[in-house]
Structure 1
Amino acid sequence: MRRPFDLSLYLITDEGLAGPRGVVETVRQAIDGGVTLVQLRDPENKTRHLIDTAAALIDILRPRGIPLIINDRVDVALAVDADGVHVGQSDMRTRTVRDLIGPDRIIGLSVSRVSELVAEDIDPVDYLGVGPIYFTSTKPNAPTPIGFDGVGAIRAASRLPIVVIGGVKAENGEAAIRSGSDGIAIVSAIMGTADPQAEAARLRSVVDAAKAG
């Protein structure tokens, strides 16, 4: 049975933005504010560091029923029994990921245009990370921003749950949900703020209000 997940407020970690407070403590505060899913993204650090960080995150997330997704690194996900893996268009193919992680874990796939919704890539996937909506400095090699119209086009072409990313913040969170997204993915607005709990609570309230409306 596939592990459950809620895309409403999807936090993607960034060790540089977390600073001296660290990734684990930042996540601890953010989940108290309402984060519903966490992705460990750390393309720079070595495997041991990733495993140690992932294990520490699971210790605080699993008792709360919040899934941990590992960006790209299937080996790290398996080593700590993470809840899933997120891959991009140039990463391991989703069918290979599914074969490695089994039928129960979650797979997310980044897409930025309708033409990337290829059946053989989409069939093993549980949700889509769509964007970037706007330019973002946290991922300078990201594709060209697609705006909310681009989200709407992907929403119309796929029944999979969608979380939008790339320049999303409280001020445009309602527009993100109205464009067809099931949630918003946040990096700097939470990882780089002085009060992750308060900012997460503010973002979560925006998402919840938009869904209720």
Structure 2
Amino acid sequence: MTRIDYRLNALVDAGLSDIGPLAELAQAAARNGATLIQYRDKTASTARMIGQAKAIAAALDGTGVPFVVNDRVDVALAAGADGVHLGADDMDAQTARRLLGPEAIIGLTVKNTADAERAGRAPVDYACIGGVFETLSKVNPDPPVGIDGFARLRQALRALNPALPVGAIAGIDLSRIPAVIAAGADGVATISAIFRNRDVAQATAAFRTAVDAALAGRAAA
């Protein structure tokens, strides 16, 4: 499996298409501090998703930033992405690993204790806990776990797989980065706070700086 730098996961969601081409948004984030790019589209056809994923992969070529596709192992394979991010209702991680191979990146969403126990034992490269806070970027029937809930789930993952990088997602802005890092996050995932900013490059750089500062502060404590 692959060691992932999860400090800043920039999610390029299909809903951002009103801002500009997703491939250009992904490239701007990758060039300004994102350490992982994820493409998410819950409604497009398979053919459209493959085309979009190929465009994003091409835009990221040479940046050194890995690229994963949300939910869809078939799209990741067809587009030559580096891996997938899977939810509880998606393909299981063991099957995804068999299809994608040992070098592919596989991440899992963790929303509750059952998810944490599954992720801690699965052949995955990272987990992302959330939603931590309320968010407008995705319809989420589950209530936010909050900082305390995040810390509990993070501890459950650490007990099963101490080396597994773990991120926080949903409602993360600059002001909340120190709290989620202090609670055990190795990084954060974000959509709107970066891509709906008037200056995507500047917003990405600010997030990366804040994450790095929070991680350094935790290490020094």
TM-score normalised by length of structure 1: 0.93
Q: Is the 8 A contact 1:132 1:142 kept in 2?
A: no
For residues 142 and 161 of structure 1, what CA distance do their matches in structure 2 show?
26
Cα-to-partner distance string for 1:32-82 (whole Å, 9 max, x where unaligned): 221110001011111222112211211222311110011011111111221
* Stretch deviating more after TM superposition (134-143 or 161-170): 134-143
Change (3 A) 1:142 1:11: farther
Q: Is 1:148 the counterpart of 2:172 in the alignment? A: no
> In the alignment, which of 179, 186, 189 is matched to residue 183 of structure 2?
179
Q: Match for 1:41: what amino acid?
A: R
Counterpart position of 1:24? 23
Counterpart position of 2:91? 92
Counterpart position of 1:35? 34
Change (3 A) 1:134 1:103: same
Summarize the alignment of residues 132-211 of structure 1 with structure 2, pairs less than 5 Å apart.
Answer: 132-158=131-157, 159=162, 160-211=164-215
Change (3 A) 1:119 1:35: closer
User: What secondary structure sits across from 2:91 in the alignment?
Assistant: coil
Change (3 A) 1:210 1:96: same
For residues 120 and 3 of structure 1, what CA distance do their matches in structure 2 show?
15
Q: Which runs of 4+ in 1 moved over 6 A?
A: none
Taking every aligned residue pair, what percent have the same amino acid on both sides? 39
Task: After TM superposition, give the deviation of residue 118 of structure 1 in Å.
Answer: 3.2
Q: Is the 8 A contact 1:94 1:122 kept in 2?
A: no
Change (3 A) 1:120 1:127: closer
User: What secondary structure sits across from 1:164 in the alignment?
Assistant: strand
User: What secondary structure sits across from 1:13 in the alignment?
Assistant: strand
Change (3 A) 1:62 1:6: farther
For residues 119 and 18 of structure 2, what CA distance do their matches in structure 1 show?
40
Change (3 A) 1:126 1:120: closer
For these two proteins, the number of residue pairs brought into alignment is: 212
Q: Match for 2:194: what amino acid?
A: I
Task: After TM superposition, give the deviation of residue 120 of structure 1 in Å.
Answer: 7.9
Q: Is the 8 A contact 1:128 1:162 kept in 2?
A: yes
- Structure 1 unaligned runs (5+)? none
Counterpart position of 2:9? 10
Q: Is the 8 A contact 2:169 2:188 kept in 1?
A: yes
Task: After TM superposition, give the deviation of residue 135 of structure 1 in Å.
Answer: 1.2
Q: Is the 8 A contact 1:129 1:162 kept in 2?
A: yes
Q: Is the 8 A contact 2:181 2:187 kept in 1?
A: yes
Cα-to-partner distance string for 1:107-144 (whole Å, 9 max, x where unaligned): 11111122323348732121111010111111112421
Q: Match for 1:195: what amino acid?
A: D
For residues 161 and 148 of structure 1, what CA distance do their matches in structure 2 show?
17
For residues 193 and 180 of structure 1, what CA distance do their matches in structure 2 show?
27
Counterpart position of 1:71? 70
Q: Is 1:108 the counterpart of 2:107 in the alignment? A: yes
Change (3 A) 1:39 1:18: same
CA RMSD of aligned residues (A): 1.6
Counterpart position of 2:55? 56
* Stretch deviating more after TM superposition (136-145 or 78-87): 136-145
